[in-house]
């Protein structure tokens, strides 16, 4: 084999390998949160009430780490955010929000985490709040 042929084979192999890695990552990322549970913790809040709500804080349950927000979620809208929190050991994560009447409510969004990774989906309805959590 000539030197030029070796270079062409090496370049082609690198391109094929890069495409295979990119394709595999895309498939895993779109496959029901397989990769998302290992990424930094994120919360999606869906407002299914007839009024606006304001997310004002996310933090560690019984801990000092918290992040303040002033994020308004209009009725029928969703927001996604990644709170910047720190954790030594294990704990849970909560959010606080204000409803239309100005009443502050607290909701656990991750009951147990050691690494602040994964995600939670919070749906706020007029009569109840549901949380789908997948955190680690």
Spatial distance between the Cα atoms of 21 and 17, rounded to a whole number of angstroms: 6
Is residue 24 domain-shared with residue 41, that is, in the same domain? no
Is residue 48 domain-shared with residue 94, that is, in the same domain? yes
Check if the beta carbon of residue 130 is closer than 8 Å to that of residue 122.
yes
pLDDT at 33: 64
In sequence order, what are the residues at sequence separation of 6 or more whose Cβ sits closer than 8 angstroms to the Cβ of residue 118?
Answer: 36, 37, 38, 39, 41, 110, 133, 134, 135, 136
Structurally, the chain folds into a number of domains equal to 2
Average pLDDT over residues 77-103: 93
Enclosing domain of residue 120: 36-135
Is residue 119 domain-shared with residue 104, that is, in the same domain? yes
Spatial distance between the Cα atoms of 12 and 8, rounded to a whole number of angstroms: 6
Q: How confident is the model at residue 84 (pLDDT cuts 50, 70, 90)?
A: very high
Is residue 55 domain-shared with residue 108, that is, in the same domain? yes
The pTM (predicted TM-score) of the whole model is 0.76
Is residue 25 domain-shared with residue 40, that is, in the same domain? no
Is residue 27 domain-shared with residue 43, that is, in the same domain? no
In sequence order, what are the residues at sequence separation of 6 or more whose Cβ sits closer than 8 angstroms to the Cβ of residue 86?
Answer: 60, 65, 116
The vertex-133 CA angle with 105 and 94, nearest 5°, equals: 30
Per the document, the length of the chain is 136
Q: What is the DSSP string of 18-45?
A: HHHHHHHHHHHHHSTTTTGGGSBPEEEE
pLDDT tens digit sequence for 97-135: 998 888 999 999 999 999 999 999 999 999 999 999 999
């Amino acid at each position: 084999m000539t030197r030029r042929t070796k270079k062409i084979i090496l370049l082609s192999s690198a391109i094929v390998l890069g495409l295979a890695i990119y394709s595999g990552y895309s498939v895993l990322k779109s496959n029901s949160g397989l990769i998302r549970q290992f990424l930094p913790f994120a919360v999606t809040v869906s407002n299914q009430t007839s009024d606006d709500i304001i997310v004002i804080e996310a933090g560690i349950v019984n801990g000092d780490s918290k992040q303040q927000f002033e994020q308004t979620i209009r009725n029928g809208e969703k927001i996604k955010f990644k709170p910047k929190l720190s954790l030594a050991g294990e704990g849970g994560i909560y959010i606080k929000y204000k409803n239309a009447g100005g009443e502050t409510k607290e909701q656990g969004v991750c009951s147990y985490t050691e690494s602040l990774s994964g995600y939670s989906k919070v749906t706020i309805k007029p009569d109840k709040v549901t949380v789908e959590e997948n955190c680690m």
